[in-house]
Amino acid sequence: MAQPTLDIAEITRRLTEASAMHDGVRYVRASVACKTLGLADSFRWSWERRGLIQPLRLRCPRSRAASRGVVVAWPLDQVIDAYAAGRPRAYTAKEIEFIQEKTGVLPLDAIAERLGRSAASVRDKQGQLGLTRRNAQGLLTTGEAARLCGRTRAAVNDWCLRMGLRYERLGSGQREKLIDPADLAVFLKARPRVFGRLTPKAQQRVRAFRTSYARQPREAA
């Protein structure tokens, strides 16, 4: 990824070296431009959608670099103009530390507001850092909980929908149920009949699991 300290002259030099002429216009491959500029893929679609870039799509033999048999190229001068006009502000070490601490604790919009940045920018940075609310809090999917307990995903869904195992979803458009490990530990401890239906090996795993998460479940948000 390009370093945030690179100036426009250095950016222009690198992109020019990676470009090629086509019908009298110098083009650079879109994926190469994004990598050189250190931009997330979302900028690729954003720039095209906003009309900042008029892409050229060329058919080519299918390969790992062009799985659909199409290469997307951008006019070099448009890339430089779009980058100069909306050059992203580099994240400071303090901002990155804040994102790492608050992901999974504060909503995305709240993190963005505290940092004075857009939610899309913060989401891109979380992706670069490998952060999601799920892995920050150690939440389990129903499939992961099912494997732990030696049951089917349908059985865990039944625990959630009929037997009161707490779960949450990360957003209004998300269908996946996510379970706090502490909530699962409390649920299994309070229901010996459910625990008794597990295989001996699963019971052994769950006993160790309950010891690791021997605390009360989280308070409702």
Decide which of 178 and 137 is more confident.
178
pTM comes to: 0.42
State the average pLDDT over residues 43-65: 77
The answer to whether residues 11 and 36 touch, using CB atoms and an 8 Å cutoff, is: yes
* 3-state DSSP assignment of residue 19: coil
3-class secondary-structure state, position 89: coil
Contacts of 107 (CB under 8 A, 6+ apart): none
pLDDT at 92 over 80: yes
pLDDT at 158: 94
Give the pLDDT score at 17. 92
Residue 220 has pLDDT above 70, yes or no: no
Q: Please report the pLDDT score of residue 195 as a whole number.
A: 87
**Confidence at residue 217, expressed as pLDDT on a 0 to 100 scale:** 43
138-150 mean pLDDT: 85
Span 64-72, mean pLDDT? 70
In this predicted structure, the answer to whether residue 213 has a pLDDT above a threshold of 70 is: no
At 152 the pLDDT is 92
Got the DSSP string for 145-208?
HHHHHT--HHHHHHHHHHS----B-SSTT----EE-HHHHHHHHHH-HHHHHTS-HHHHHHHHH
Residue 42 has pLDDT above 80, yes or no: no
Q: How far apart are CA 213 and CA 1, in angstroms?
A: 39
Q: Are 29 and 65 in contact (CB under 8 A)?
A: no
Per-residue pLDDT at 120: 74
Q: Is the pLDDT of residue 186 over 80?
A: yes
Residue 138 in tokens: 């150690």
